[in-house]
Amino acid sequence: MNTYRKGLRTLAKGRNDLIKEGYVVAKVEIVSKYNKNKDLFGLFDLIAIKPLETKLIQFKTNNQHLNLDEYRIFAHKYPQFKVEVWIWKDRKGWIKKRLSSSVYNLIKNEED
């Protein structure tokens, strides 16, 4: 199984869901032969924008043990952004973890 391609499929699913919700979405990976850190701020795959709302989202696939500390710190430091981690579970769908900038902890864990 090619994990790179599986990750791209997960990213495409998430992007399509965000577009259906009315967001303008941009992939923020920087592709370079010399750049090891491809994600925005080293954390995020996509940026999704609606009027007066900006989401920074990291996508994962079938991730069991996920450390959210870096995302919580970022959300606390930059409260103007909604920080989310979306995990695609095979045969189950999305688990969306929204990190609160105001409370500085995980406030929502919803399964679709």
Beta-carbon neighbour count of residue 74 at 10 Å? 18
Nearest CA-CA partner of 83 in 66, 65, 70: 70
Signed CA dihedral, 57, 70, 89, 9: sign only: positive
User: Is the confidence at residue 81, as pLDDT, over 80?
Assistant: yes
> Quick one: pLDDT at residue 110?
42
Q: In this structure, what are the phi and psi dihedrals at residue 6, rounded to the nearest 5 degrees?
A: -65, -40
> Quick one: pLDDT at residue 3?
74
CATH match for 3-111 among 3.40.50.850, 3.30.56.10, 3.40.720.10, 3.40.1350.10? 3.40.1350.10
- CA-to-CA distance for 97 and 106, rounded, in angstroms? 7
Domain ranges of the chain: 3-111
User: Is the confidence at residue 83, as pLDDT, over 70?
Assistant: yes
Tokens 């923020």 sit on residue: 28
What is the rounded average pLDDT for all residues in the chain?
Answer: 80
Can you name the residues that pair with 85 across neighbouring β-strands? 58, 97
User: Is the confidence at residue 27, as pLDDT, over 90?
Assistant: no
Can you name the residues that pair with 106 across neighbouring β-strands? 99
33-76 residue pLDDT tens: 665 556 666 688 899 999 989 999 998 888 777 888 888 988 88
Tally the C-alpha atoms within 13 A of residue 9's C-alpha that lie toward its C-beta: 12
